[in-house]
Amino acid sequence: MNARPRLVKAGAVALAAVIAMAVSAGCAARPGARPAVTATARVAVHSGVAAPAIAARSVSRAGAGAAAATCNPDAASLAPLGPPQVTAGSFMAKIRARGFLIAGVDQSTYHFGYLNPLDGQIEGFDIDMIKAVAEAIFGSPGHVVYKAISDAQRIPDILNGTVDIVAHTMTITCARLQQVDFSSVYFQAHQRVLVLKDSTANGLADLSGQKVCATSGSDSATLITHYHAIPVTVPYWTDCLVLLQQDQVAAISTDDSILDGLEAQDPFTKLVGPELTQEPYGLAISKQHQDFVRFVNAVLAKERTDGAWAASYARWVGTPVPAPPAVGYAS
Amino acid sequence: MASTAVSAGGRAGSTVPARPRRFRRFRPTLSTTPGRLRLLLIIGVLLSLAWGALAGFTASQYAAAASSVVATREPLSLDAQQIYSRLSDANDAAATAFLTGGLEPPAVRQRYLADIGAAASGIEAATANGGAASGAAAQDLNTLAEDLPVYAGEVETARADNRLGLPLGAAYLREASGLMRSTLLPAASGMDAAENVSLDATSAQATGLPLISVTLAVGLVIGYLLYRAARWLRRRTNRVLNLGLVAAGLALIVSLAWLAAAYTAGRGDMLAAQARGSTPVEALAKAGIAAQQAHADESLTLIDNSGDDVYQQDYVSEERALGPGPGTLLTAAQAAAAGSPAASAADAAVLDARAWYAAHAAVRALDDKGSHAEAVASVLGTGPADAGVPFAKLTADLSAGTTADQATFDKSAQAAAGDFTALAPGVAVAALVMAASCAWGLSRRLVEYR
């Protein structure tokens, strides 16, 4: 978070103010900021299958700017109490009695959470984290029901108890921390830019005045606006790749974790430019289930040390495998 | 008119002394019997020819409407219905094919390909049948012709990406499905509705009462005038009957009877074609399309897998629209098909729908308790307890009903067109006979005065 440029935060607040009417953010829109343009592209216009995407992510980001002073997203979680243990009366015991863990996941982000068309299974780095948690509860693999949810559903689904846990390339932010709890950081992403191979652009700075794709209301659009590019918004990240393939946008800008997955699906694209932001990913859990937060952190701690985290990283993200993100706890 | 004109002319000479000069010139002619006979001859021939023109016009109007139903409106309406129901089924098949992991079931792929092929040939046939020439339907047909290849291209791109194991395929399928739902299906539905309106309007022309009533009334008036003329002639010449006028009367009676009979038969056949043909076909096709859309929603709910139940809500509203129950599509189809060959199929479809709803509830229960794979297997399954079976039976019954009643329609509409065959030339010939008979009969009387 410390590495995030101040202007990014300001831009985030500005966009959220436009999109979400977050008047309470207390900031006027930057003079140079353009309002996000809803895509005129067909993907967005008749996305019959796509659930409408959401402003939740940017709303929370708006708050992130306001609450940033009092919060450190990299060390906001609860410390584990020893190795993972399902104690009587705990939320984990309830899950065990039910017979399966309910996880809110992404089904369109290649290598993190995606529906593999070859076998119809949801797979990825995020999914591996969920599998580890479920196996720690049940003592055997399986026992997970995946709900493929959109960005907008992540926090509401946690709040109303539709899902037990969310693993969805979800950045820990101070605003979100006021609504839900997060596990310790299990992945560190950075916003970058994806363009076609023959593009001369080397980052958002070169894309001023051009159309750049992001999902609706994602904080990625904030930075696009900041660089005076025109945000084109669609429901899913793969929809952005469709637009890029159809020459309807010049670039896609979001977390490198997501862009890597898009690049892997189209060899005629490349990632360019510097790392623009810090995006620490955490698993989101209800504030009512602090025992479960500590349990999940214990599972992640075990994953980091026994090589499971590195194996999953190597499988989904690639080699060489870096050290896992540094862990800090609030208490 | 002939006889009144004649007698009025006769009275005018005695009761109105101050007639304008120009009328006086004719008086010497009309005041003599040969003069009146000559006038009667001219009027008789002209009336006969006018009758021929009117009766021939009426006959050709009904014949043209009936044959337009058979030759143009009905094929176009069928094309539109085929395009709509095939696109709706393709949408369902594409969703269902995507439901499974791995390769799509060959049967579903075959169904999709057959649907796209049939929709494309429907578009081609509608264009060839002149659908592109008629108003709002032309716009829809144009949209369909332009966007169907785009849709098919996106589905194939989705399939290629799926085969590579890429989630990008889902995005292309989403785009294709969006194109289908937002553009293709509304255009197909609009064209179908427009063609049904045209078909009903043309059928109404073929059965309409006003024209035939006016024509028959005019014919009866002419008949009455002939009778008056014959009576006047008999009094004036002391002959029993004028054979020419009798023959003209007979020719008139023949043409009147033929007109009335052809109309009655044609109207009966056309109404039967509607009541036991196009009306139930339309109702059954509507129910079939609603069933396909509900089934696509069933699949999409499982594909979407998000707990966000937009598609399930769509399904519920389609199920409610489909029925059975008061005001629902299935009940309407059942009522429309009652007494037609599709009656039993429509009754069976109601039972199928109930069975499918029960199976669908079981699928939702499976999915809700976390057994997604079992839920998918039930939708795609062919076993006795699987949801795929009652749905397949529902669409099969609805389509069997549609086929049966379509055959009824074809038969009856062709019979209706046949009822009007030769009517127009027939009444024209009868009118010529009338004219000739008048001329012959009256000129024989005239000769006697020379």
- Rounded CA gap, B403 and B397, in Å? 10
Residue B346 near residue B284, CB atoms below 8 Å: yes
Q: Check residue B121 and give its pLDDT.
A: 92
User: Torsions phi, psi of B242, nearest 5?
Assistant: -90, 115
The overall pTM is greater than 0.90:
no
- Over chain B (450 residues), the average pLDDT of each successive run of 10 is 41 49 55 79 88 90 86 84 89 79 79 92 86 74 91 91 86 87 90 86 86 89 87 76 84 90 89 85 88 85 67 86 86 86 88 89 80 79 82 90 87 87 88 88 78
Closest Cα of chain A to B191: distance in Å? Answer: 21
Residue B169 tokens, joined: 């395929």
- Rounded CA gap, B163 and B435, in Å? 81
In angstroms, the first-to-last Cα distance of chain B is 26
Provide, for chain A, the percentages of residues in helix, strand and coil under a 3-state DSSP scheme, each rounded to the nearest 5.
Answer: 40, 20, 40
- Contact check, Cβ <8 Å, A50/B178: yes
Q: Check residue A116 and give its pLDDT.
A: 84
Q: A50 to chain B: which residues are within 8 Å by CB? A: 174, 178
Q: Which residue of chain B has the CA closest to A153?
A: B308
- Helix axis angle, B168-179 to B74-99, nearest 10°: 160
- Rounded CA gap, B114 and B402, in Å? 18
Reference A225, options A78, A48, A5, A12; nearest CA is A12
- Contact check, Cβ <8 Å, A265/B167: yes
Q: B181 to chain A: which residues are within 8 Å by CB? A: 46, 48
Q: Check residue A128 and give its pLDDT.
A: 95
For residue A311, how far is the Cα from the chain centroid? 21
Closest Cα of chain A to B297: distance in Å? Answer: 10
Residue A331 near residue A79, CB atoms below 8 Å: yes
Chain B residues with CB under 8 Å of a chain A CB are: 98, 100-102, 161-163, 165-175, 177-183, 300, 303-308, 310, 370, 372-373, 376
Residue A228 near residue A30, CB atoms below 8 Å: no
Question: Could you tell me whether strands A279-281 and A187-189 are parallel, antiparallel, or unpaired per DSSP bridges?
Answer: antiparallel
Q: Check residue B30 and give its pLDDT.
A: 67
Q: A99 to chain B: which residues are within 8 Å by CB? A: 370
* Partner residue opposite B307 with nearest CB, options A50, A118, A157: A157
For residue A3, how far is the Cα from the chain centroid? 18
- Rounded CA gap, B302 and B333, in Å? 30
Reference A287, options A102, A134, A76; nearest CA is A76
- Rounded CA gap, A304 and A311, in Å? 10
Residue A66 tokens, joined: 């306001």
Question: Which ipTM score applies to this complex?
Answer: 0.72
Reference B206, options B427, B425, B412, B426; nearest CA is B412
- Rounded CA gap, B398 and B289, in Å? 10
Locate the domains of chain B by residue range: 35-292+323-447
Closest Cα of chain B to A109: distance in Å? Answer: 7
Q: Which one-letter DSSP state was computed for residue A74?
A: G
- Contact check, Cβ <8 Å, B306/A153: yes
Closest Cα of chain A to B85: distance in Å? Answer: 19
Chain A residues with CB under 8 Å of a chain B CB are: 42-43, 45-51, 99-100, 102, 104, 107-110, 114-121, 145-150, 153, 157, 162-163, 236, 238-239, 241-242, 261, 265-266
Q: Check residue A9 and give its pLDDT.
A: 39
Question: How would you write the pLDDT of chain A (331 residues) with one tens digit per residue?
Answer: 333 343 333 334 333 333 333 333 333 333 333 334 444 334 333 333 333 333 333 333 433 444 444 688 888 888 888 888 888 899 999 999 988 999 999 888 999 998 888 877 889 999 999 999 999 999 999 899 888 887 778 888 899 998 999 999 998 988 889 999 999 999 999 999 999 999 999 988 899 999 999 887 567 888 888 889 999 988 788 999 999 998 999 999 999 999 999 999 999 999 998 988 889 999 999 999 999 999 999 999 999 999 999 999 999 998 889 999 988 888 6
